[in-house]
Amino acid sequence: MKIINFALIGTGVGIHHAKAILKNKNSKLKYICETNKKKIKNLKKKFPHTHVISDENIIFKDKAVDAVSIASYDHFHYSQIIKCIKTNKNIFVEKPVCTNLKELLDIEKKIKKKKIFISSNLVLRTCSLFKQFKAHIKKNKISPIYIEADYIWGRYFKLMGWRSKSKNYSLINGAAIHMIDLIMWMLEAKPKYVTAFGNSMKNSDRYNGHTFNLLILEFGNGLIVKISANALSKLEHDHNIEIYFENGSFFKQFNNKFLINKQKKKINLNYSYPDKKSRSEVINSFSNFIAIGKGKKIVDKTEVFDVMKVCFYAIKSLKKNRKIKIKY
């Protein structure tokens, strides 16, 4: 079994990546790359056995680095992924992988020629409540007739930082993507069409993008899924989902988690949410896969590209103001 040498770029959410890497017996954190001088000083104290650097190119020149965890700002992801591909380094990237379809298709094309792996931090898959929803659907061969999934961001202040300066930042890529991925993962299916809507009920001139998006996904079997991403809500960060099927329904509505069975009886569910302790499973499965050379990653390469394509075609639908067929 090989010990995987990791490098981390970006220490916002990336701090959680660092902690997970250091706890995994199959991985070692060799570098942390951060350009904020104030952060660098604290990082050197917090991670005394890791090289804290400000130049990312040191990582790509080091042949001993096996994998790079990319948690930088969205608009840097593409260039950093291309550098990983050129230098044969496995890639674990925060969503979104990149900021437009052209970049995604270029990454997909280039990575096919390499024996490296790419995964993304789509953490809702690790929540025990959502795992239970998926297991119930698969075990009972349920075909949902309608689904609603809402991403309640509750973090409007975040739009005032780097997101307000990023040319291609999208709430679809930054928020709705989690609910899109959750639905596709639960159903083990891909939507055929997407129609997207958006508005901007902002109270600041610093951010010019949409603060609310609504997506209608149409699947081949006739299923319709409505997904929303709400950046303005003053509620706590949350993920709500309602799954309706012929003989019952699943509900996760704020603090309520229950199943309505075919006898119309309400059954409260005890599975954990938000289950944050399990989120490191995504990067751990990626690291273990590289170290052992076999097994299943929680988020596979094909799934990464598929969910990003849904997002980018949703953005195209917004611009074209019409329903769009998704090309995988």
Q: Over the stretch 179-231, which tens digit does the pLDDT of each residue have?
A: 999 999 999 999 999 999 999 876 566 777 889 999 999 999 999 999 999 99
Give the model confidence (pLDDT) of 239-265 as tens digits.
999 999 988 999 999 989 999 988 899
| Order of strands, sheet of 212-218, starting from the edge strand that comes earlier in the sequence | 266-268, 256-260, 248-253, 238-245, 146-152, 224-230, 212-218, 193-199, 324-325
Q: What is the pLDDT of residue 205?
A: 66
Q: What is the pLDDT of residue 203?
A: 59
In terms of phi and psi (left: phi > 0; alpha: psi -120 to 50; beta: otherwise), the region of 154 is left
Residue 254 backbone dihedrals phi, psi, to 5 degrees: 55, -115
Give the model confidence (pLDDT) of 255-309 as tens digits.
899 999 888 999 999 999 999 999 999 999 999 999 988 778 899 999 999 999 9
Q: What mean pLDDT do residues 148-166 have? A: 87
SS3 24: coil
C-alpha closest to that of 244 among 229, 269, 226, 220:
226
